[in-house]
Structure 1
Amino acid sequence: MKWKSVIPGVLVLAAVIATGLYSLRATQPPPGVALQPDKAAVVQRGAAIYQAQCAACHGAQLQGQPNWRERGADGLLPAPPHDASGHTWHHPDEVLFRLTKHGVATEARIPDYKTAMPVYEGVLGDEDIIAVLSWIKAQWPADIRERQERINAEHLKSRAGS
């Protein structure tokens, strides 16, 4: 076997593996994604970004769109509320971050999932996404925040075990 004929194949294989590892890393949130609903500057910045990027669909008061659990004529679900009546708080911080940054189709691993929710990767930086989600979380009543923190703790515990 001549090594000169094998080397190009090995280099291509190495490039494919490196690309795959990079894309896997690129879909992971930055280390330690944690929302900061108690940091006034972060929440204030998040409020401004939310109004500019999210309120048109999710509502200025986080109320979402009517009939948000029923697909419209276009086959899309309306924007859900992000207040205590919605399901946003049922997700850990990390999942909320990934849903916002990479989109529902990527997070749910359903490539052809149709949604009106834009993917914010390339639109908002990680700190901006965390700020928006921190503002949303800051609006929840104390009991809902406590329940979501327990969800966070369980999620982190399950990740540590895997």
Structure 2
Amino acid sequence: MKQVVAVTAAAGVAAAAYHWLARSDPPDAGILPYRDPQAVALGEAVYLDNCASCHGADLQGEPNWQDRDSDGYLPAPPQDESGHTWHHPDAQLLDITRRGVAEVVGDGYRSRMGGFDGVLTEEEMLAVLAYIKSRWPAEVIARHNQINSQAGD
């Protein structure tokens, strides 16, 4: 009887631990293939060709990216963990990449980042975002996965 209770208790602890781990870092949260080396390699090449001129070769963004310039535009933000990209779920990041910031935000918002629909394929857009995500520290990736889980991606 004691063995049955011990095994049952151990199973309950293991199940609780698994549930907690699964909630804190869902293994398949989101739609970005950031764990796929081929997708990440494609994303790096596409990023360097299409995004690095504004967002920087090292994802660092433009200087003073939080301050509007003399024309009223915000400079390109960093795509690394110091920026706010990881605060948005995958579906929203893909929508921004596809349609552009101004189109997604609406209400007359102005942005120099236009959409890449018709320029990049869906696979290329997902790969770029996967490359960006793959460069974040593990704790930022885990938090971003939580954001995706809460958003239903």
Is 1:130 aligned to 2:115, yes or no? no
Q: Percent identity?
A: 46
Is 1:91 aligned to 2:74, yes or no? no
Instruction: List gaps (5 residues or longer) in structure 2.
Output: 1-29
Tell me, in whole angstroms, the C-alpha distance in 1 between the residues paired with 2:65 and 2:120.
Answer: 25
Equivalent residue in structure 2 for 1:102, among 93, 99, 111: 99
Tell me, in whole angstroms, the C-alpha distance in 1 between the residues paired with 2:140 and 2:102.
Answer: 26
Tell me, in whole angstroms, the C-alpha distance in 2 between the residues paired with 1:90 and 1:80.
Answer: 13
Is 1:143 aligned to 2:139, yes or no? yes
Is 1:49 aligned to 2:46, yes or no? yes
Match of 1:35 in 2: 32
Cα RMSD for the two superposed structures = 1.5
Higher RCO (C-alpha under 8 Å, 6+ residues apart): 2
Letter in 2 for 1:71: R
Using the size of structure 2 for normalisation, the TM-score is: 0.78
Instruction: List gaps (5 residues or longer) in structure 1.
Output: 1-32, 158-162
Tell me, in whole angstroms, the C-alpha distance in 2 between the residues paired with 1:105 and 1:116.
Answer: 8
SS in 2 for 1:64: coil
State the number of aligned residues.
Answer: 125
